[in-house]
Structure 1
Amino acid sequence: MAIRGGTEIKVGIFVFVGIIALLYLTFKLAEEAFTPKDVYRVYAVFDNISGLTKGAKVEMAGIPIGKVGKIELTNKGKAKVELLIYKNYKIQEDAKAVIRTYGVLGDKFIDIKPGVSTVYLTPGSMIAYTQGAISVDEILASIGPAVEGLKELLGTEEGKQNLKILVANIRDASQSFKNIAEKIEKGQGILGKLVTDEKLYKDLTETVESLKIVAKQIESGQGTLGKLVNDEELYKSLRNTIANLESVSERLKKGEGTLGKLMTDDKLYKDLKAIASDLRKITAQIESGQGTLGKLLKDDSLYIEAKRTLKSVN
C-alpha cells in the first residue's frame, strides 16, 4: 500500500513538471509567433512609462510601424523599452520617441517624431531623444494653479458679482435666441418669411432656375454676354483694341503726334493761347467797326457807295 502511494506521488510530480514545461514552451512559442522575423530592434529609455505595456503600438505620423517588445528597469531606475520596428520603415538618428495616449483614457502607444538627419538607426541602436508618459498627478499639478486662481476669483465679492452678471447675460442671450426662433416659426421678419412663406420659396426657386438657364446660355455662347465669354475672335479684337488704346495713351504721355504735343508742349500751348487772344481782339475791333473789315460790316454808306460804283461800271 505504501509502495503504491509512493508511485502515485512520483507520477503526480512528473505530470506537474510536464505541465510546467509545456506551459513554458507554449509561452516561448507564442512569443516567437508574435515577434515577426521581418523586424529589427531599437531601444528607448524613459523616465516614466506609466500605462505602457508590451505589445503596444509604435506609430509614426499616425501609421503603425512596429510594436513594443520587452520592458526592463535599468540600474538607474529608468524604463528601457525594446521597439520592434518593421524592416520597411526607417527611423532617423535624431528622431524622438514620445509616449502618448489614445484619447483621454485610451491605451498608451509610442509616437516616433521624425528628425531631419539623413542617417538612420541601425539594429540595436538607442533612440537618443525621448519623452515619457504624463501621469495623472502631473496633469492635476499643471491645472492646479488654474483651479486655485478660479477659486480666488470666484471667492471674492467682485468675482461673485461678475459671475452673476455673466449668468444673467447668458440667460438673456438664451431668451433672445428663443424669441428669434419663435418669430421665425411664426413667419415674422425676412428670415421667418424665407422659412415659412411658400410663395417666396417658389419665387426664389424660379429665380435660381432662371439663373441656371442664363448660365447655360452664356456657356453655349448665346447672347452678347455669351459671345463675350465664348467668342475667341471677339476676345482677341477687344484685347487688340485695349492694346491700341494703351499704345495711344503712351504716345500722348511722351508728347508724340499733334495731340501729344498739345498736351505736353508748353510753348505750343502758349502760342495757341496768344493766337486766341489776338483773334478775340480782332473780333472785338470788327464788331466795333474799326478797320476796313469793320467798316465793311458796320458802315452802310460805304456799302451803298460800293454798290453805285459797281452799277456805273456795268
Structure 2
Amino acid sequence: MEKTSLEKLRLGIFVIMGTVLLVIGAYVIGNRQNMFGNTFTIHAIFKNVNGLQEGNNVRYSGIGVGTVKDIVMENDSTIDVVMIIQDKMLAHIKKDAIATIGSDGLVGSMIINIVPGDGSGSKIESGDQIVSYSRIGAEDMMSTLNVTSENAALLTADLLKVTAALTKGKGTLGRLLNDTLMAKNLEQTILNLKLVSAGANKTLEEVNSFVKEANSENSVVGVLLRDSLAGLEIKQIIHSLESASDRMQNLTVNLDSVVSGISEGKGTLNYLANDTILVQRLEATMINIEEGTARFNENMEALKHNFLTRGYFKKMAKEEQKKAKKEQKNN
C-alpha cells in the first residue's frame, strides 16, 4: 500500500514538473513569437518573397524585433507581408525605413531585415506600409552567371579568331603589326599631320595678331572700322576715282575717234599733212613775212635817224629809262 502511494507521489511530482516545463516552454516560445505582450503590425509589399514563411523572424538593424504574421498573395506580382513588431520599437522605426528579405546565415531560414532610412520620416504607426527592396535570389544569380559564362565563352572564341587573324597579317591591324613599311608610312603621315597642325597654329597666331592690330585705335583698319567720317571720306574718294575713270574713258573714246578721222583723211590736220601744195604756199608765205619784217625793221631804223622823227624816238627812249628806274626803286 505504501509502495503504491509512493508511486502516486512520484507520478504527481512528474506530472507537475512536466506541466510547469510545458508552460515555461510555451511562454518562451510564445514570447519569441510575440504571442504575448504589446505588439503592432506593419506591412511591406514584395514581388518575390524568396521562400519566406509565416513565423520567420523580423530584425531591425540586426536586432530581433518581431515575426512574420501572414503572407497574402494579392495578385501575380504583389505579395503583402504582414509583420508583428514589438510595441517598444514604435519610438525607433520610422516611415522611411526599408524592408528587405535575407537569410539567417548561409543555410539558415529566411528573415526580414528592416533598414533605417535617412531619419527624415515620421514615426511609424500600427498598420502602416513601409518601402520594400527585393534582392536578387540565388537562382537569379546562377542564371545570370550562366549567361555571363556563355557570353565569356563566345567572347573568348572571337578573341582567338581576332588574334589568329592579327598573327597572319589579315586586316588593317594585322598589316600594321606585320608590315614595317606601312608602319613607317603611317609614322611619316602622323609627322606630316603634326607639321600641318603646327603651321595651322602659327597661321592662327598671325591672324590673331592681325585682328588685335586691327582692333587697335592707331591702326588704319581700326580707324576705318571706328571712324564713320573717315569711312565717308573713303567712299567719296572712291566715288571721285570712279568719276575720273569715267571721264578718262570718255576722253579715250574721243581721242580714238579723232585718230580714226585722221587715219581716214578727215579734218584739218589730215589736210595739212597730206596737201603738199598748201605746205609749199605756207612756206612761201612765212618767207615773205620774214622778209617783210626785216624791211620793216630797216625802215624803223631809218626813221630813228631821220631829223624829222629823231626827237620823238629820243623822247620815247627817255620815258622808257624813267619807267625802268622807277621799277628798280620799287623792287
TM-score w.r.t. the length of structure 1 is 0.36
The higher radius of gyration belongs to 2
TM-score w.r.t. the length of structure 2 is 0.35
